[in-house]
Amino acid sequence: MKTRKRRYATTILATALLFAPGGCVKDELHDTPHPDKGVVAVSIDLPQGASREDYTVEIDGTTADGKEGRYTVSDPLPPGEYTVLAYNTPQGFTVTDGIARVERTDGTVRALTDFINPLPDYLYSGTKRITVVADDILRVDLSVAQRVRDLHIELTVTEGDPERIAAITGTLGGVAEAYDLYRGTLTGEAVSTRPTFAREGDKVSADLRLLGVRGDAQTLTLVLTFTDGQTQTVESDLTEILADFNGDMEEALGIEGELHTPVRAGMEATIKDWNTIPGDPVEAM
């Protein structure tokens, strides 16, 4: 009798386990609530003083806006390869479809003016290729790099009276207006910008912040207005001295030359002897 009772009890227990949830039919164990998809959590290596709130994270063009501590978190994604992009949108720029574009001088992207903002704020961006795996959270550390470079132009009046110069306007042609954030390259046509020139004593100077130079030539054009109301236009070719401008974007570049102004009637203003300024120029403000 004892043996028969023991067999009967074992049969009942086996039947109960078979039909109970998680019984003899083994459940699959998952690490996430999205077993067929993966999630990407991105931490940005920010520049000094920057806020995470100033940055946008995109994964193949789709914005990730979830937050978890220092991470920006994506929605669940099908397994596969993706490109993660992080960037800020500083004053003086617009970003559309992965292209950062310098605004025109009236604050629009494309307006009647032909000149881009000569001194936008600092643009940073970075990309990384990733592989998303199902039922996993991929944590990505992403560095961003500076995409603009400061340029200081300084002219010394070495001939003529600098006090005769009442006003100065200038144009620099052959500069870039757009940057492809995903490809990490300049894009678009070569355009011009109008930096603000000022005179202090015998020095005439201007500060710019550029994505880079573009096109076959970079030409500086100055219009000098003298105290007697007369004006002169002087052009100078900066192609050679700016040939390596698109290299180290974090290092400000200063260039200097000599401005010769008329000392008598019939003379034309000229700019000569361009050189780079030794040392580290002050960053444009």
Claim to verify: residue 85 and residue 155 sit in the same structural domain = no
Same domain flag for 165 and 270: yes
Looking at the structure of the chain, the number of domains it has is: 2
Condensed to tens digits (0 to 9), the pLDDT of residues 113-150 reads 689 999 999 999 999 999 999 999 999 999 999 999 99
Dump pLDDT digits (tens) for 81-95.
999 999 999 999 999
Provide the residue range defining the domain that includes 109.
38-146
State which amino acid sits at residue 177. E
Q: Which residue has the higher pLDDT, 254 or 19?
A: 254
Residue 282 confidence (pLDDT) above 70: no
Based on the domain organization, do 96 and 162 belong to the same domain? no
Q: Would you say residue 21 lies in a domain?
A: no
Q: Can you tell me the distance from the alpha carbon of 30 to that of 205, in angstroms, rounded to the nearest whole number?
A: 64
Q: pTM of the predicted model, to two decimals?
A: 0.84
User: pLDDT tens digits for 221-259?
Assistant: 999 999 999 999 999 999 999 999 999 999 999 999 999
Residues 123 and 157 in one domain: no
The tokens describing 42, both together, are: 């991105």
**Same domain for 108 and 89:** yes
Residue 175 located in a structural domain = yes
Mean pLDDT of the region 209-231: 96
Band (pLDDT 50/70/90 cuts) for residue 263 is: confident
The predicted pLDDT at position 105 comes to 84
Q: Range with the lowest mean pLDDT among 155-159, 207-211, 264-268?
A: 264-268
Which residues touch 70 (CB under 8 Å, ≥6 apart)? Answer: 43, 52
Same-domain pairing of 133 and 172:
no
* H and E: helices and strands count for the chain: 1, 21
> Is residue 172 predicted with pLDDT exceeding 90?
yes
pLDDT category of residue 280 using cuts at 50, 70 and 90:
low
Q: What does the pLDDT read at residue 211?
A: 98
Same domain, 140 and 66: yes
- Binned at pLDDT 50, 70 and 90, residue 264 comes out as confident
Share of the chain above pLDDT 70, in %: 84
Note whether 138 and 164 are same-domain residues.
no
Q: Which of 101, 126, 146 is the last residue of a domain?
A: 146
Q: Structure tokens of 110?
A: 């494309």
Q: What is the CATH number of the domain that holds 255?
A: 2.60.40
* Exposure letters 16-43 (e unless 16+ CB within 10 A, then b): eeeeeeeeeeeeeeeeeebeebbbbbbb
* 135: nearest Cα among 27, 42, 37, 28: 37
Q: Indicate whether 258 belongs to any domain.
A: yes
Signed CA dihedral, 102, 108, 114, 118: sign only: negative
| Last-in-domain residue among 129, 146, 163 | 146
Does residue 10 have a pLDDT over 60? no
Assess whether 87 and 125 both reside in one domain: yes
Does 95 lie in the same domain as 43? yes
